[in-house]
Structure 1
Amino acid sequence: MTGLPKLHATQPLAEAHAEALRAAGHVLLRGVFSPEEIAAYRPALRDYILEKRERLSAGERNLGASPENTIFSLGDAPQAVADFVTAPRLGELTARLLGVEAVRILHFCGFFKPGGGPPTPWHQDLSFIPLDSDRTISAWIPLMDVTPEMGSLVFAEGSHQQGYQEPSAAHRFCLARNGAMKAGDVSLHMGWTLHAAGRNESARMREAIAVCFYADGARVTCGEGLPFRRSLMTSYFAGLRPGDVAAGPMNPVVFRRSGPPAGLEGAHP
């Protein structure tokens, strides 16, 4: 596919965005991608994700993703999909929000929840990730305008500051919902932020892609525990062993900057 717009690292980031992420564990940025950019990339993303969905069970398709298997891969993604997932614009945003020099791709998922699809349970992304660092951040990007009825994201504010917690702990925090999002908006959250999504009460498929990044220099830990951890070890971290720097061919650096770090400098390592 040719003629697609280049997603250069041109998105300005206000200090208020980093402050919001530090405090609440999530931040919503409007208009990171233009409607024209999303429209250009959506056909390739949609075709790839719908093809991969055929490998999911009926229950997983209703949820919109698999909590056990990594079926999306840079290894078999078409060039347009890989270009979007590794876009420098996303890399710059996540590096600056994390306050690190460089970020790598951890993995990406297509969250296509059909009409009537059930709620996504409360969870923390780092429970599924075999890394020794909490400097991970996920970007959730709708490929279409999303209404609150289609299953908007909800976050337990400040939960990222307390490490691992049981899902039932979410309701001890103030809950914040993204509500409506436009195609090209980006919702970002930290790895320990408890979050969920509502049922898709509409008759339309809710289309979104999520890309997870981590700070360059993190090391792989063991893949024991939840099935998705084991799946990451055999896919994105294939060939790496516990203690190795997480820098395999499936984890390219997508953005590297120079100058003093900004953003989450005060976060605990």
Structure 2
Amino acid sequence: MTGLPKLDAKQLQAEAEAEALRAAGHVLLRGVFSPEEIAAYRPALRDYILDKREQLTTAERNLGASPENTTFSLGDAPSAVADFVTSPRLGEVAARLLGVEAVRILHFCGFFKPGGGPPTPWHQDLSFIPLDSDRALSAWIPLMDVSPAMGGLVFAEGSHQQGHQEPAAAARFRLARNGAMKAGDLSLHMGWTLHAAGKNASTVMREAIAVCFYADGARVASEEGLPFRRSLMTSYFAGLRPGDVAAGPLNPVVFRRSGPPAGTEGAHP
């Protein structure tokens, strides 16, 4: 696909946002992508995600994604989809907020929750990820304007500071909701932040894509635990073993503050 706008980095200054992320475990950035940029990429993202949804079970479709399998992959994504999820724009946000020199993409998901879809249970992303580092960050990007009734995200503030916890621990923390979001807004949360999403009480499918990043230099940890960890080991981390630097062909550096230009190392297939 040609003629799509380039999603270059914006020389982001994010000190206040990074401080908020460190304190609360989540932060909401408005207007990271313009309405025109989202409108340009949405058709390719939507077509790809809807096609992949055919592989999901009925229960997984109602949630919007699979908690067990890495359905979406840079290995088979069309160029427009790969360009969006590996864009320097997203990579810069992740690197600045994490306070690291460079970030790699871990994986991405299409969270399309149909009207009437059930709540997404409380969970921590790092429980699903075989990495030895807590420098991981998920970006949740609505491809359409999302009302609170459509199943917005809710976070247990400060929960990321206590490592692995059971879902019931969310009740001990102050809860914060994103509320309404515009297409192109960006909700970000740390890998250990307990979070959930509400029921889609509307009649409209809620369209969002989530991209997970981690600090360059992190190593692969054990695949033991939840099924999604094993799925990552055989997909995004294929050929890597516990203890290896997590730097496979599907884990490109998408932003580096200095040195080689972003996107030149480990480019997506």
**Shorter-normalised TM range:** over 0.9
8 Å CA contact 1:11, 1:89 repeated in 2: no
* CA shift digits 1:150-204 (9 cap, x unpaired): 0000000000000000000001000000000000000000000000000000000
Kindly report which structure 2 residues correspond to 1:145-156, keeping only aligned pairs within 5 A, or say none: 145-156=145-156
**Percent identity over the alignment?**
87
Q: Please name the residue that 2:4 is paired with.
A: 4
Kindly report which structure 2 residues correspond to 1:68-83, keeping only aligned pairs within 5 A, or say none: 68-83=68-83
**2:214 pairs with 1:214:** yes
Q: Please name the residue that 2:113 is paired with.
A: 113
CA distance in 1, matches of 2:125, 2:70: 14
**2:247 pairs with 1:234:** no
Q: Please name the residue that 2:204 is paired with.
A: 204
CA distance in 2, matches of 1:207, 1:14: 27
8 Å CA contact 1:108, 1:211 repeated in 2: yes
CA distance in 1, matches of 2:118, 2:11: 34
CA distance in 1, matches of 2:150, 2:96: 30
**2:223 pairs with 1:223:** yes
CA distance in 2, matches of 1:11, 1:242: 35
Q: Please name the residue that 1:35 is paired with.
A: 35
- Corresponding letter in the other structure for 1:191: G
| Alpha-carbon RMSD | 0.8
Q: CA deviation at 1:13?
A: 2.9
Q: CA deviation at 1:258?
A: 2.7
CA distance in 1, matches of 2:46, 2:204: 14
CA distance in 1, matches of 2:167, 2:28: 22
8 Å CA contact 2:14, 2:97 repeated in 1: no
8 Å CA contact 2:14, 2:96 repeated in 1: no
Kindly report which structure 2 residues correspond to 1:33-182, keeping only aligned pairs within 5 A, or say none: 33-182=33-182
* CA shift digits 1:13-41 (9 cap, x unpaired): 33110110010000000000000000000
8 Å CA contact 2:12, 2:92 repeated in 1: no
Q: CA deviation at 1:123?
A: 0.1
Unmatched tracts of structure 2, length 5 or more: 260-269
Q: CA deviation at 1:12?
A: 2.5
TM-score when normalising by structure 1 = 0.95
DSSP 3-state at the match of 2:233: helix
Q: Please name the residue that 1:263 is paired with.
A: none
CA distance in 2, matches of 1:171, 1:47: 38
DSSP 3-state at the match of 1:161: helix
DSSP 3-state at the match of 1:37: helix
8 Å CA contact 2:12, 2:96 repeated in 1: no
CA distance in 2, matches of 1:245, 1:15: 28
8 Å CA contact 1:136, 1:215 repeated in 2: yes
CA distance in 2, matches of 1:204, 1:215: 36
CA distance in 1, matches of 2:230, 2:18: 32
CA distance in 2, matches of 1:172, 1:232: 31
Where does structure 1 differ by over 2 angstroms across 4 or more consecutive aligned residues? 11-14
8 Å CA contact 1:11, 1:32 repeated in 2: no
